[in-house]
């Protein structure tokens, strides 16, 4: 009787091990990110806007690169320049792989952020970075798709307003899929680690 029970336990254990192997094989394997893992997200799929040179852009344009997208405006006093400076730092830290990182800045203030203004702003961080702008209607549609917030806050004069906006970076893999979200303040090292992970995954 004892022997029969022992054999039964062994058989049940084998079944559990086999089942665990099956589930393990079916579970997706990928990098462990330092930011918020958005793999499989059904939003933020594209940015059908115009860059600072007048060219219509899409995430697909940057196939083979890791793309980091940040929403802001050029007259932002702190969050935006800090985030873009950190992104430039990440690119430098990648060395030869720096060319495989594409920084994208999407303005939430298209009224003041003209193409010429955006050209100068991007050049102050990295010449390869792209700035995107659209009509107010296009911006609302993109903001909804990315689940970001922005709102104009009136100043003392009609042109001295500021913009409240979400502060964080969206990171796409080399196949144009949204994979990671980095909150403002996470730092360049954290972002660089996830960019490297996605570059290694895409090799």
pLDDT per residue as tens digits for the range 34-76: 999 999 999 999 999 999 999 999 999 999 999 999 999 999 9
What is the four-CA torsion angle of 75, 79, 83, 89, rounded to 10 degrees? 90
In the structure, what pLDDT confidence band is assigned to residue 28 with cuts at 50, 70 and 90? low
pLDDT band at 29 (very low <50, low <70, confident <90, very high): confident
Mean pLDDT of 94-111: 97
3-state DSSP of the chain: CHHHHHHHHHHHHHHHHHHHHHHHHHCCCCCCCCCEECCCCCCCCCCCCEECCCCECCHHHHCCCEEEEEEECCCCCCHHHHHHHHHHHHHHHCHHHHHHEEEEEEECCCCCCCHHHHHHHHHCCCCCCEEEECCHHHHHHHHHHHCCCEEEECCCCCCCCEEEECCEEEEECCCCCEEEEEECCCCHHHHHHHHHHHHHHCC
What pTM value is reported for the model?
0.84
């Amino acid at each position: 009787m004892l022997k029969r029970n022992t054999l039964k336990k062994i058989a049940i254990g084998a079944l559990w091990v086999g089942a665990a192997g099956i589930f393990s094989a079916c579970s997706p394997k990928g990098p462990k990110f330092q930011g918020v893992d958005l793999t499989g997200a059904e939003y933020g799929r594209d940015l059908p806007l115009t860059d600072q040179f007048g060219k219509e852009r899409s995430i697909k344009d940057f196939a083979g690169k890791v793309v980091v997208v940040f929403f802001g405006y050029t007259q932002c006093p702190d969050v935006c320049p800090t985030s873009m400076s950190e992104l430039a730092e990440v690119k430098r830290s990648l060395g030869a792989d720096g060319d495989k990182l594409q920084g994208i800045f999407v303005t939430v203030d298209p009224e003041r952020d003209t193409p010429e203004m955006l050209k100068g702003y991007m050049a102050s961080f990295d010449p390869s970075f792209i700035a995107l702008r659209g009509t107010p209607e296009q911006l609302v549609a993109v903001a909804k798709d990315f689940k970001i917030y922005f709102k104009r806050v009136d100043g003392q004069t009609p042109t001295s307003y500021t913009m409240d906006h979400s502060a964080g970076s969206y990171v796409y893999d080399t196949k144009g899929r949204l994979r990671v979200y980095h909150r403002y303040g996470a730092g360049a090292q954290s972002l660089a680690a996830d960019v490297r992970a996605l570059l290694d995954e895409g090799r």
